Each structure stands twice: as structure tokens, then as C-alpha cells.
């Protein structure tokens, strides 16, 4: 297959804005149509500290649709919690507007915003029992007693905590406390539910069970969920759409599939899943794709989103499970192929992870399924060919050198 | 005090398989251990003066002096209020203590909350002032307040006793509330706000119940310090007599057993309050 037969490049996307403009071609969730539940317009937040001003959030634009499960994903200090707290009303943006169903919320105190927050620490009232904890919001709105009882009962049933009404939070397990926190927020039927790493304190098994549980609850109540997490698996599993944040900025917005399969920046590629980064100079540009200049017999083709000129330096990424690894002669039919030597083999049960150092010196990770067919396992020092389809080469947006893979802690003081 | 521990209610136990919040584990020392004996000696030593005070309230003393055991009688309990000056002094002491406790709680609680909650300019200075107040000799404080009242031309009496004692006792409430506030989870207040509570409702329904043990402890301290305060009160009392002042004045002539009886009542009241506050604290945290 020659370069001229390469598939057309994906639609041109403005790489600076972080909006999902043309990225919907992989069948991901579309951007919300009509009135957004929550809209952030040019929102910035800086905190003053002893070392001067710290920019926690920098000019974020977001539109979260009604009934959407939307995640803010990023390392600690990336500004995701600050963003959530601004939506809840606990922080006021230094700049920009926060719209809730089209209404500007800036300056409105948290108790007058029709959103509810599920706290990372749960923040259950220790002196009140489960029933009174859940009823707290309804009582503030002077809901009649009968209605309170009925509504609390319904919500406790929804989170499967019937019969625990008289317990104090202390007498419940971590998972049950988590459910009470959820019920206490849901009972108010808010226009959006904000969740700040709600599963962070649970052990792995419980966390996975709660992920499914949360998704079920969200489907049942149909409320917009805005979910903050640093766990990429969690975000990919549950979200309709998500943003990846870093250093107070949005790196990428899209469906889990888009963000995973088509990471737009080095940061996103590195933060979500295991990613292989390759770089090289453009040899030729043909039909919306660039052929990179690599070693003899090797070729890497990457679909372009903008233009490129020969000699230009490009970064691209390939997911480890998209790569085929073969011994022997070069695979002639492969659109992308690169030579390497196996340096490490890690058996992972259902799959095996190979680390391969390429002829250009890049370290690539390859996952292969352990299907029991021969030729899958390669021992260290074996020379192999790595090959993949051109559509799985994903061009990364150019960006400054400044620490793109190392999350920076000093950016946010509120995580 | 093992009898005070409430029996673990069976319905309070979490479902099997889920982590139960563990009740405190305590190492048990064998009886007759040197530590045991030592502890009881110290307890006895602390209690001995109180026992003597209580016992001599039942002493059938003949003369003015009540220092020698002369037989058991309930006579002085029967004539408890037979000395009008003493009764008036006791009433003064009790009402002053109640007023001082109330004012100290009202003024000290916000100070403690602010110190436990916020970082602000002048916080370090506030700390210094508070601790200086505790550390300064009472006699110096009493004299200083007296000269203040004289300078301002305020006549000494009931009101000046209250003012001087409140100034002294606020600190104890502030310190206990501050300690309680330091362990208070701020997100509880945010949760209340998030659920629609205004600032006052949040304080009333969430913050106050959480810091209440600190407020009660500070209040009890203030009460205890006030009811038997002698030094500061002596300086600022004018013609007003409180219980300690009356007793001090009476020592030259001999202290009647009624003083022991009233001391017993005050002591019993103090013990009762302390036990109540422990019980309430247990029920709240149960």
C-alpha cells in the first residue's frame, strides 16, 4: 500500500480552543444541543498565596448538556476541583461567567444555587442519623413532613439503603456512607449533581461496583452529573463526555472513545492509558497524510488535521493494543511499520506487555492478547517488526516544551 | 466508672462483613500492680480535703472552731440558712457564677471559633493576649482591673465582680472551643450551605452541635472558676459579699459548719454537672 492510498485526514480542528468542533467523526457523544445545563464562559480563577498569585484555572470554556454524565479528568492540581467548586458556588471565578440553564450564577451563594455537591470526604453530619442527613436539604426548603418522609424513602431505596434510616454515619461502612452522601444530594432533585472524587476513599472492588451503581442511578434519575476524578479508568467507564485538564487548562474535550483513541496532545496521550510517543520529520505529504522519515524499510504514516511541510517535526501516538508485533521479515502490507528489539516482557494474565526499543531509540509498549496461538510471545533481545494501520497513528498538537507529562503540583492549591 | 458505659445496643452493630467502628481497646493492668496502688494513693490524696470538708459539715461542734471531731449531727444541715449574711453571699456567688458562665460562653465561643477556623491578621497577637491572660498572676489582673474601675469612676460591687470575672473566664471558653474547632471538618459547613442552609442555620444545625462539647467544657470551667474565685473578686467586690469572701472574713472568728455544708452542696453540684456533661457527650457520640 502506498502513501497515495492513505485514508483522508480527519476534519480540521482548531487545536487551541479545546472545543469538540469536528471531533465527532468517531461516533462519540455529540456536544449538547440547545440550552446547556451548565456553561462556563472564559472562566479563570487565581488564588493569592505567599508566593504570589497561583493560577488554578485559566480561561475555561465548557458546555455541559442536560442529563449528561460529564467528567473533569486530570492529575491533582490541574484545577478540576476548583472548577467544580466554582460551579457549586464555594469559589468565585476571578474572570468569566458560569451559567446554569442560561442564568449567570456568579455572585449567587451556594445555598441559592440549584446544584448539589457530593463531597470527597462525604461530609455527612455526624450528629444526625441517615434519615436526617438525607432530609436536610428538603427541610431547608420547608417541604411538608409527609413529603419529606416519602421522598427520603424513595431516595434511600434508589441507593439501596432502606432500613438504615436510624443509623448514625459512623455506624455505616465507607460504601454505605458514600451512598448516603449521594442520597443527600439527589433527594433535592438538583439541576445538576456535582461529584468531587466521590469514590476516592473506597477500595478497588467497591469502587468498581459503585461506578456501575452511579451510572445506573444517573440513568434512572436523568440528572446532569459533573464528575471530578483523577482516575482515567473511572472517567472512561462512566462518562458520556469528558475533559482532560492540565495546569488549569483544558487539554481535550470529547467522548471517552475520542479522548482515548485520538489524544490530541502529548499530555492526554500520556495521561490516559499507556501511550507510545513517536516523533520524526515529514518526508512527504500526500492526500492529507504525512509520511515520516525514519530508518530504511520503515515507514510511519499519520493522518493530518492541518497542513504540514516536508522537514517539519511531528509528534504522534499509537495505542499499545493497536500494534502488531511480528518476528521475521518486514510485513509488506502494513501501512506503518517500524523495527525494534524486545527489551522487556511482562505477563499480565489475559495479555502480555512487550517493551520494544525502536531503531530510532523510542521505547514502545505493545499489548498482545494471550490467545494461545503460537508466535505471540517474544523473548527479550528478539528483533521484531511493529506494525499498525495508519488510522491508528494519531497526530499530537504541538505544544511548548514545558513539562507536558509531569503533572505540576504547584498549579493548584485546592486539590 | 465502668458502670457509666452504656451497654452496646445490638441494633447499633453494623451488618456482618462490614467494618465496625471499633470501640476503644484498652490494655488491662493486673490488680495489685504498683501502678494501680500509686494511682489510688494519688486519688485519695486529692480527695482527702474534700472528705474532711464534707465530714466536718456533720460535726457536732460546740464552740466557734470547727477543727475537732465532736460527734455526728445533722443540726447544721437543718440550720443551713440560719446565717443570713452567709446565705446572701452564697446566692450572690451562685448568681454571679451563672451570669459569668453565660457571658463567657457568649463572648468566648466566637473567639474560639475564629481562632480555630480562620487565618487572619492579628491572630498571633490574639493568641498571645489569651495565653497572657491565663499565665498572668490573678492578683496582678485583679489589681489592674481595680485601678481601671477607679480611674473610670465605676463604683465597685456586683456588676464589677461580673465584669472582672468574665474578662478572666472568656479565655477558658475560647481555648476549649478553639481546640474543638481545630478538629472540625470544614466541609460539613460547606455541605450545609450546599443543601440550602444560610449562614445562621448552618451554625445552628451543624457547627454548634459539633463544637458543643467544647462550649460545655469551657462553660463548666468558667462556672467552677467563678464560684470560688477569691483574688479577683476581693479586689473588685466593694461592699458585695460572695461565698468565698464571707468564708475568708469568718475565719478570724471561726468558720461555722454551714460553710462546710454549702461547700458540700457546691461540690456535689459540680460533680453532677461534670457527670451530666460526660453522659450527654457519650450519647451524642454514640
Domain containing A378 equals: 274-395
For A5, A190, A314, A399, A412, the CA distances from A307, given in Å and listed in that order, are 18, 46, 11, 16, 36
Q: CA-nearest residue of chain B to A112?
A: B196
Name the interface residues of B facing A (CB cutoff 8 Å).
11-12, 14, 18-19, 21, 185, 187-188, 190-198, 201, 205-206, 209-210, 284, 286
CATH number at residue A389: 2.40.50.100
Cβ separation B191–A90 shorter than 8 A: no
Whether B259 and B249 have beta carbons less than 8 Å apart is answered as no
Judge whether B245 and B237 are in contact, CB under 8 Å.
yes
CATH of the domain at A43: 3.40.50.300
pLDDT of res. A347: 86
Among B15, B191, B193, most A C-beta atoms within 10 A, so best to mutate, is B191
Residue of A nearest to B16 (CA): A173
Least confident range from A24-33, A310-319, B44-53, B131-140: namely A24-33
How many Å apart are CA A11 and CA A305, to the nearest integer?
Answer: 6
Question: Percent of chain B having pLDDT more than 90?
Answer: 53
As given in the structure block, the three cell numbers for residue A287 are 492526500
Which residue of chain B comes nearest to A124, CA vs CA? B188
The answer to whether A180 and A122 are in contact (CB under 8 A) is: yes
Task: Give yes or no for residue B19 having a pLDDT over 60.
Answer: no
Please report the pLDDT score of residue A31 as a whole number.
Answer: 54
Query: Among residues A251, A267, A283, which one ends one of the domains?
Result: A267
Q: Cα A113–A115–A116 angle (5° rounding)?
A: 120
Q: Does residue A243 sit in the same domain as residue A294?
A: no
Architecture of domain B83-285: Orthogonal Bundle (1.10)
* Residue A17 domain-assigned (yes or no): no
Best mutation target, A127, A185, A201, to test chain B (most B CBs within 10 A): A127
Whether the pLDDT of residue B163 is over 90: the answer is yes
CA distance A83 to chain B (A): 16
Q: Is residue A414 part of a domain?
A: no
Give the length of chain A. Answer: 415
| pLDDT, tens digit, 9 for 90 and up, residues A218-271 | 999 999 999 999 998 899 989 999 999 999 999 999 999 999 988 888 899 888
Neighbours of A222 (CB within 10 A): 8
From chain B, pick out residues whose CB is under 8 angstroms from the CB of A184. Answer: 191, 195
The string of DSSP codes covering B119-130 is --TTHHHHHHHH
pLDDT of res. A413:
38
| Averaged pLDDT, B202-223 | 93
Q: Is B10 helix (H, G, I), strand (E, B) or coil?
A: helix
Is the model's pLDDT at A198 over the cut of 70? yes
Question: Is A414's Cβ below 8 Å from some Cβ in B?
Answer: no
For residue range A368-392, list pLDDT tens digits in order.
Answer: 888 776 555 577 878 888 999 988 8
Share above pLDDT 90 across residues of chain A, in percent, rounded to a whole number: 45
Predicted local distance difference test score (pLDDT) of residue A10: 35
Q: How confident is the model at residue A329 (pLDDT cuts 50, 70, 90)?
A: confident
Residues of A in contact with B19 (CB under 8 A): 173-174
Asked if A262 and A278 sit in the same domain, the reply is no
CA distance B6 to chain A (A): 16
Q: Does the structure show a pLDDT above 80 at A276?
A: yes
Q: What is the model's pLDDT at position A64?
A: 94
Cα→Cα distances B45→A336, B49, B53, B130, Å: 90, 8, 14, 32
> Which site among A49, A85, A110 would you substitute to test the B interface, given the most B Cβ atoms closer than 10 Å to its Cβ?
A110
Residue finishing a domain among A267, A288, A311: A267
> Residues A42-77: pLDDT tens digits?
999 998 877 778 889 999 999 999 999 999 999 988
> Using a CB-CB distance cutoff of 8 angstroms, which residues of chain B are in contact with residue A141?
196
Do the chains contact at B14 and A117, CB–CB below 8 Å?
A: no
pLDDT given for residue A407 in this prediction: 41
Mean pLDDT for the stretch of residues B30-46: 86
What does the pLDDT read at residue B7? 39
Cell of B61: 461542734
Q: Between B185, B190, B196, which is nearest A140 by CB? A: B196
Residues A256 and A344 placed together within one structural domain of the fold: no
Find all residues with CB under 8 Å of A164, minimum gap 6, and list them. Answer: A130, A156, A172, A176
Class of residue A88 by CB neighbours under 10 A (exposed 0-12, middle 13-18, buried 19+): buried
| A232, A267, A302 - which closes a domain | A267
The average pLDDT across B23-47 equals 79
Mean of per-residue pLDDT scores for chain B: 85
Total domains present in chain A? 2
What pLDDT shows up at residue B176? 93
User: Mutation test of the interface with chain A: which of B194, B213, B280, choosing the one with the most A Cβ atoms within 10 A?
Assistant: B194
Q: Is residue A2 part of a domain?
A: no
| CB B127, CB B58: distance < 8 Å | no
**Residues near A405 by Cβ (< 8 Å), separated by ≥ 6?**
A266, A267, A270, A271
Cell numbers for A14: 482548531
pLDDT band at residue A22 using 50, 70 and 90 as cut-offs:
very low
* Residue at A407 is within a domain: no
A203 neighbourhood in chain B, CB within 8 Å: none
**pLDDT category, B30, cuts 50, 70, 90?**
low
Residue A16 lies in a domain: no
pLDDT level of residue A109 (50, 70, 90 thresholds): very high
pLDDT tens string B237-285: 989 999 999 999 888 888 888 889 999 999 998 889 888 888 877 776 6
Cα separation, B149 vs B140, in Å, equals 14
> What φ, ψ does residue A395 adopt, rounded to 5°?
-70, 135
Rounded to 10 degrees, what is the CA torsion of A377, A381, A383, A389? 60
Q: Which among B12, B185, B193 is the nearest to A110, CB-wise?
A: B193
Task: Let me know whether A41 and A89 are in one domain.
Answer: yes
Residue B205 near residue A133 (C-beta atoms within 8 A) = no
Residues of chain B neighbouring A171 (CB-CB closer than 8 A): 12, 14, 21
Evaluate whether A158 touches A222 at the Cβ level (below 8 Å). Answer: no
Residue A98 scores a pLDDT above 50: yes
Mean model confidence pLDDT for chain A: 83
Whether residue A336 contacts residue A393, with contact meaning beta carbons closer than 8 Å, is answered with yes
Highest mean pLDDT among A20-29, A336-345, B154-163: B154-163
Are A174 and B191 within 8 A, CB to CB? Answer: no
**Pair A246, A377 in one domain:** no
- A238 and A281, same domain (yes or no): no
A23 within domain boundaries? no
| Residue A111 sits at the chain B interface (C-beta within 8 Å) | yes
CA distances from A263 to A23, A366, A389, B112 (A): 11, 18, 16, 52
The verdict on a CB contact (< 8 Å) between A136 and B195 is yes
Closest CA to A161 of B6, B277, B244, B18: B18
Residue A212 lies in a domain: yes
Please, which pLDDT band fits residue A332 given cuts at 50, 70 and 90?
confident
Looking at the complex, does the CB of residue A4 fall below 8 Å from at least one CB of chain B? no
Interchain proximity A117–B194, CB inside 8 Å: yes
Same domain, A214 and A241: yes
At A7 the pLDDT is 38
- Specify if A19 maps to a domain: no
**In whole angstroms, what separates CA A378 from the centre of its chain?**
33
CB B118 within 8 A of CB B208: no
Q: Are residues A217 and A124 located together in one domain of the fold?
A: yes
Burial (CB < 10 A; 0-12, 13-18, 19+), residue B163, is middle
Amino acid at each position: 500500500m502506498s502513501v497515495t492510498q492513505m485514508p483522508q485526514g480527519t476534519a480540521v480542528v482548531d487545536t487551541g480552543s479545546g472545543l469538540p468542533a469536528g471531533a465527532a467523526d468517531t461516533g462519540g457523544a455529540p456536544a449538547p444541543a440547545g440550552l446547556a445545563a451548565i456553561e462556563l464562559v472564559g472562566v479563570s480563577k487565581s488564588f493569592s498565596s505567599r508566593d504570589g498569585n497561583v493560577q488554578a484555572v485559566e480561561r475555561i470554556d465548557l458546555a455541559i448538556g442536560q442529563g449528561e454524565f460529564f467528567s473533569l479528568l486530570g492529575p491533582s492540581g490541574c484545577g478540576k476541583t476548583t472548577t467544580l467548586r466554582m460551579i457549586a458556588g464555594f469559589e468565585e471565578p476571578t474572570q468569566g461567567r458560569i451559567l446554569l440553564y442560561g442564568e449567570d450564577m456568579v455572585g449567587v451563594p451556594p445555598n441559592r444555587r440549584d446544584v448539589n455537591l457530593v463531597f470527597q470526604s462525604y461530609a455527612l453530619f455526624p450528629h444526625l442519623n441517615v434519615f436526617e442527613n438525607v432530609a436536610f436539604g428538603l427541610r431547608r426548603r420547608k417541604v411538608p413532613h409527609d413529603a419529606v418522609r416519602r421522598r427520603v424513602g424513595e431516595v434511600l431505596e434508589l441507593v439501596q439503603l432502606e432500613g438504615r434510616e436510624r443509623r448514625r454515619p459512623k455506624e455505616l461502612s465507607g460504601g454505605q456512607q458514600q451512598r448516603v452522601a449521594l442520597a443527600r444530594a439527589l433527594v433535592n432533585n438538583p439541576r445538576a449533581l456535582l461529584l468531587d472524587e466521590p469514590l476516592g476513599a473506597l477500595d478497588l472492588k467497591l469502587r468498581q461496583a459503585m461506578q456501575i451503581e452511579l451510572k445506573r442511578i444517573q440513568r434512572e434519575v436523568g440528572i446532569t452529573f459533573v464528575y471530578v476524578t483523577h482516575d482515567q479508568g473511572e472517567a472512561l467507564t462512566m462518562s458520556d463526555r469528558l475533559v482532560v485538564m492540565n495546569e488549569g487548562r483544558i487539554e481535550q474535550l470529547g467522548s471517552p472513545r475520542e479522548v482515548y483513541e485520538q489524544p490530541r496532545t502529548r499530555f492526554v496521550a500520556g495521561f490516559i492509558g499507556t501511550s507510545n510517543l513517536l516523533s520524526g520529520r515529514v518526508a512527504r505529504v500526500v492526500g492529507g497524510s504525512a509520511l515520516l522519515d525514519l530508518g530504511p524499510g520503515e515507514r510511519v504514516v499519520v493522518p493530518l488535521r492541518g497542513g504540514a511541510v516536508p522537514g517539519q517535526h511531528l509528534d504522534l501516538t499509537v495505542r499499545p493494543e493497536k500494534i502488531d508485533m511480528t518476528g521475521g521479515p518486514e510485513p509488506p502490507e502494513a501501512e506503518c511499520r517500524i523495527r525494534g528489539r524486545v527489551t522487556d516482557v511482562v505477563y499480565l494474565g489475559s495479555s502480555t506487555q512487550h517493551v520494544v526499543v525502536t531503531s530510532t531509540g523510542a521505547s514502545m509498549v505493545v499489548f498482545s492478547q494471550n490467545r494461545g496461538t503460537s508466535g505471540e510471545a517474544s523473548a527479550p533481545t528478539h528483533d521484531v517488526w511493529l506494525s499498525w494501520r495508519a488510522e491508528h497513528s494519531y497526530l499530537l498538537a504541538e505544544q511548548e516544551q514545558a513539562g507536558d507529562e509531569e503533572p505540576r503540583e504547584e498549579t493548584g492549591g485546592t486539590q | 466508672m465502668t458502670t457509666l458505659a452504656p451497654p452496646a445496643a445490638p441494633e447499633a452493630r453494623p451488618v456482618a462483613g462490614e467494618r465496625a467502628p471499633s470501640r476503644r481497646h484498652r490494655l488491662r493492668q493486673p490488680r495489685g500492680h504498683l501502678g494501680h496502688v500509686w494511682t489510688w494513693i494519688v486519688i485519695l490524696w486529692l480527695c482527702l480535703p474534700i472528705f474532711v470538708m464534707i465530714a466536718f459539715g456533720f460535726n457536732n461542734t460546740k464552740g466557734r472552731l470547727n477543727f475537732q471531731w465532736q460527734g455526728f449531727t445533722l443540726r447544721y444541715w437543718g440550720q443551713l440558712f440560719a446565717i443570713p449574711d452567709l446565705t446572701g453571699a452564697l446566692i450572690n456567688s451562685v448568681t454571679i457564677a451563672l451570669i459569668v458562665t453565660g457571658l463567657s460562653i457568649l463572648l468566648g465561643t466566637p473567639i474560639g471559633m475564629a481562632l480555630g477556623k480562620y487565618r487572619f491578621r492579628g491572630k498571633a497577637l490574639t493568641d498571645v493576649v489569651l495565653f497572657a491572660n491565663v499565665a498572668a498572676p490573678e492578683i496582678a489582673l485583679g489589681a489592674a482591673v481595680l485601678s481601671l474601675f477607679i480611674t473610670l469612676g465605676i463604683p465597685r460591687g456586683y456588676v464589677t465582680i461580673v465584669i472582672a470575672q468574665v474578662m478572666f473566664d472568656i479565655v477558658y471558653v475560647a481555648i476549649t472551643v478553639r481546640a474543638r474547632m481545630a478538629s472540625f471538618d470544614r466541609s460539613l459547613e460547606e455541605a450545609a450551605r450546599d443543601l440550602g442552609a444560610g449562614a445562621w442555620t448552618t451554625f445552628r444545625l451543624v457547627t454548634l452541635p459539633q463544637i458543643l462539647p467544647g462550649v460545655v467544657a469551657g462553660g463548666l470551667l468558667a462556672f467552677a472558676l467563678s464560684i470560688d474565685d477569691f483574688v479577683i473578686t476581693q479586689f473588685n467586690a466593694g461592699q458585695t459579699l460572695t461565698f468565698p469572701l464571707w468564708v475568708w472574713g469568718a475565719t478570724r472568728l471561726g468558720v461555722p459548719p454551714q460553710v462546710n455544708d454549702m461547700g458540700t452542696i457546691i461540690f456535689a453540684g459540680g460533680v453532677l454537672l461534670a457527670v451530666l456533661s460526660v453522659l450527654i457527650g457519650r450519647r451524642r457520640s454514640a
